[in-house]
Structure 1
Amino acid sequence: MKTGIKIVTIGGGSSYTPELIEGFIKYYDELPVSEIWLVDVEAGKEKLGIVGGLAKRMVEKSGVPIDIHLSLDRRQALQDADYVTTQFRVGLLDARAKDEGIPLKHGVLGQETNGPGGLFKALRTIPVILDICRDMEELCPNAWLINFTNPAGMVTEAVLRHSNIKKVVGLCNVPIGMEMGVAKLLDVEHSRVRIDFAGLNHMVYGLDVYVDGVSVKNKVISLIADSEKSITMKNIEAMGWEPEFLQALNVMTCPYHNYYYKSGDMLKKELKNYEEGGTRALVVKKLEDELFELYKDPNLSIKPPQLEKRGGAYYSDAAVRLIHSMYTDKKDIQAVNTMNRGAIANLPFESAVEISCVISKDGPKPIAMGELPVAVNGLVQQIKSFERVAIEAAVTGDYNTALLAMTINPLVPSDRVAKVILDEMLEAHKEFLPQFNVHEYSNQ
């Protein structure tokens, strides 16, 4: 008879894995994990070995009875899993460098989950996640899929629309990062802060902000207008906001809104970095190399603090907190990506949204937020249209649909520019886009 919880992490060779292991160790008394399978592909074998070694040392040091397994055989690992977490990157950081660099060559924002870069990350990732879902349907049909792979919102929506897996939750560290940011700004414990989140992944708004149940939204909006106090992430530079704009918007923005409300400033900044030879992918690559050198040290048996520079801070807090709340039927409130079910009145019932949910053994139950404010609704609707069309392109491999998705993204200036970037990126990523007949469309 099976005892304990079986976790399978796909993309187990990721530099984030030590955060995840740390979280499972911390929660072990209430979340009795008996085995963790770290799974990767052949190209990630070396990193899997390094991270796996550190994971085993961390578990050994903690004294908890968790067995760590390393595998390149996804199907073997998935058998009878209880929770499957996904944190993979198709094409590794080289693909990210192309996602950032190619659009910038054509004067368009290059970013890993927004604009053309976000589209191509989705085109590469969605077929793989749907493949994983088919394996799960066969090998662990009762397991929960907890997806951290970007673009998390599109991946969640693709699973909901194109697989039989309904027990899926998309996870992002932006909402928990915003909560932690507010706690720091107001010098209070994180547990006292709650934000009413509503929107989409990397397009989520704080409709209200509370400390001990009392709204502090106006105070927070006034504070974050200052670039010194802006709440941001390691991969997005804070630029501050016009106070009058934020006050009129009357909701808390997330770091990724910089790309939409400050497109010109962000493009200028990214072009400067690009010309000086440094998109974010290259910075991350250097950080990753340094982290893996640290991970190799046989005397290291804790998560090194340098990991927080990677941009994935609070990952273990978000991922393990979610699984813990589901397993213990905690009924606390967390922001996740899940089916809308009418919680945001002006978005489709069956669409994936990022929203505050009550987390129980039955998964996330979205909290009704009513209609999004008029001032933000238009942008959210446009991004949702882009996501839906991008998912269709990823599933069908249809060139015209991909061009449509690229063109309707608000960060792309015209259909002509969209076509030039699309053709170049299809060629650059063809190894990871088997659903597209690249040769038919190149050099047009």
Structure 2
Amino acid sequence: MKLTVVGGGSTYTPELVDGFARLRDTLPVEELVLVDPAADRLELVGGLARRIFAQQGHPGRIVTTADLNAAVDGADAVLLQLRVGGQAAREQDETWPLECGCVGQETTGAGGLAKALRTVPVVLDIAERVRRTNPDAWIIDFTNPVGIVTRALLQNGHKAIGLCNVAIGLQRKFAALLGVEASDVHLDHVGLNHLTWETGVRLGGPEGEDVLPRLLTDHGDTIAADLRLPRPLLTRLGVVPSYYLRYYYAHDEVVDELRTKPSRAAEVAAMERQLLDLYADPALTEKPALLAKRGGAYYSEAAVDLAAALLGGTGSPYQVVNTYNKGTLPFLPDDAVIEGQAAVGPKGATPLPVRTVNPLYAGLMAGVTAYEHLALEAALHGGRDRVFRALLAHPLIGQHGYADRLTDQLIAHNREHLAWA
């Protein structure tokens, strides 16, 4: 089995490699190819990756290259974890929207749109190369904004599925609070990427006992503190929103915070410098503890489970993924990309039926779905008016004056990445 990681020079990659090494019985990788144009980073990450495999006795071969065509040729699956423009572009995404009093964030709002515009054309070019050399390969997208990127891939006929680590992180957290194995916890995970709610927490499978009310009663303070949302709000909602919902439920509070502290991009950039220094140490044979602060917790477990299910049918039968709606949520178009529980196997993902969704969540999902449709139109076809319409449609913006100013800012800060600008 050959797997290719596009963006293999990311400081995330040792997390992924560690999972491949530990879970080799679930996913027997024979060749792992890390491809990245940043030769200096790739050399450091690739060196540590080989040492991790060797330390854990994994017999697989790790290849590093800048040649994308060679990297994807013959691959059974291609994982996308790239960041167009690097942390410098992320820094911009997180700062200039604040000038209009709007959240600055890399996956939602104006910053998220900027990332989508930079990313979609690059991902589609990569996907076309995969299709030319190996049309049977699965494309697993971990690149944000996952919902928009996955929709672009699916609309262009690619064999693709989106992955996010929010659900697996909550599953692990809930299992620890309940004192059970993570595999015993099944989430009723409903929504769009980075716009999801846990409407049930079931023990044993999709039809198991719902212990969410008990979780909220016994551990509501802990969950609320993790989400940085008020405990009474969780009690009133009766569900657990993802931490990304804080950008909606406490927007102005978040904006005030972001204006008075260093950006997350600056923090991550500093952390990456430290990580690369650690990776350069030939005595390091495991992922360092610092990597846990980088983000992407449990990414490796989620990626291994998904790849195993797609390639050999050996992963968990139910997984949270991003795929076409296909009537699962009747208030959204069939070609909307939703994030939820699905039956996953070699033929792909089939979303599980969803119980009736409260209008409080359905309305926001519908609004963000409309934005994502317009965002993809802007990413595919360009033009100031398309960017403006997407921003005007976003629930976190919604005013024409803001949308006009943000459109000009977005184009000015991203001109080098926009072929039409």
The match for 2:279 among 295, 317, 321 is 295
Q: Which runs of 4+ in 1 moved over 6 A?
A: none
* Deviation sequence 1:318-356 (CA, Å, 0-9, x none): 111111223331452110001112122221112211010
Paired residues of 1:343 and 1:370 also in contact (CA < 8 A):
no
* Deviation sequence 1:270-294 (CA, Å, 0-9, x none): 1221xxxx01100111111111111
- Listed as ranges, the matches of 1:341-356 within 5 Å are 341-356=326-341
* Deviation sequence 1:127-186 (CA, Å, 0-9, x none): 01110111111011000000100001110011111x221x21100000101111212222
- Listed as ranges, the matches of 1:163-178 within 5 Å are 163-165=156-158, 167-178=159-170
The match for 1:285 among 269, 276, 284 is 269
Aligned to 1:185: 177
The match for 1:323 among 290, 303, 307 is 307
Distance, in Å, in 2 between the alignment partners of 1:223 and 1:394 is: 45
Matched, 1:204 2:196: yes
Aligned to 2:68: 74
What secondary structure sits across from 2:344 in the alignment?
A: strand
Distance, in Å, in 2 between the alignment partners of 1:221 and 1:391 is: 37
Paired residues of 1:307 and 1:313 also in contact (CA < 8 A):
no
Paired residues of 1:223 and 1:230 also in contact (CA < 8 A):
no
* Deviation sequence 1:179-226 (CA, Å, 0-9, x none): 112122223321221111111000011121113422111122345642
CA-atom RMSD in angstroms = 1.5
Structure 2 residue runs without a partner (length 5+): none
- Listed as ranges, the matches of 1:21-420 within 5 Å are 21-41=17-37, 44-161=38-155, 163-165=156-158, 167-212=159-204, 213-222=208-217, 225-226=220-221, 228-230=222-224, 232=226, 238-243=227-232, 245-273=233-261, 278-330=262-314, 332-420=317-405
Paired residues of 2:224 and 2:231 also in contact (CA < 8 A):
no
What secondary structure sits across from 2:214 in the alignment?
A: helix
State the shift of 1:251 in Å. Answer: 2.4
State the shift of 1:267 in Å. Answer: 1.3
Paired residues of 1:345 and 1:370 also in contact (CA < 8 A):
no
Distance, in Å, in 1 between the alignment partners of 2:41 and 2:143 is: 18
TM (norm. structure 1) is 0.91
Paired residues of 1:345 and 1:371 also in contact (CA < 8 A):
no
Paired residues of 1:345 and 1:372 also in contact (CA < 8 A):
no
Q: Which moved more, 1:342-351 or 1:192-201?
A: 342-351
What secondary structure sits across from 1:183 in the alignment?
A: helix
Which amino acid is the alignment partner of residue 239 of structure 1? R
Q: Which moved more, 1:366-375 or 1:174-183?
A: 366-375
Paired residues of 1:18 and 1:303 also in contact (CA < 8 A):
yes
Which amino acid is the alignment partner of residue 325 of structure 1? A
Percent identity over the alignment is 38
Q: Which moved more, 1:412-421 or 1:195-204?
A: 412-421
Structure 1 residue runs without a partner (length 5+): 233-237, 438-444
Which amino acid is the alignment partner of residue 241 of structure 1? P
* Deviation sequence 1:413-441 (CA, Å, 0-9, x none): 5211221122122111111111x22xxxx
Paired residues of 2:26 and 2:304 also in contact (CA < 8 A):
no
Matched, 1:11 2:7: yes
Aligned to 2:410: 425
Q: Which moved more, 1:179-188 or 1:5-14?
A: 179-188
Distance, in Å, in 1 between the alignment partners of 2:52 and 2:358 is: 46
State the shift of 1:253 in Å. Answer: 0.8
Paired residues of 1:147 and 1:168 also in contact (CA < 8 A):
yes
Aligned to 1:442: none
What secondary structure sits across from 1:347 in the alignment?
A: coil
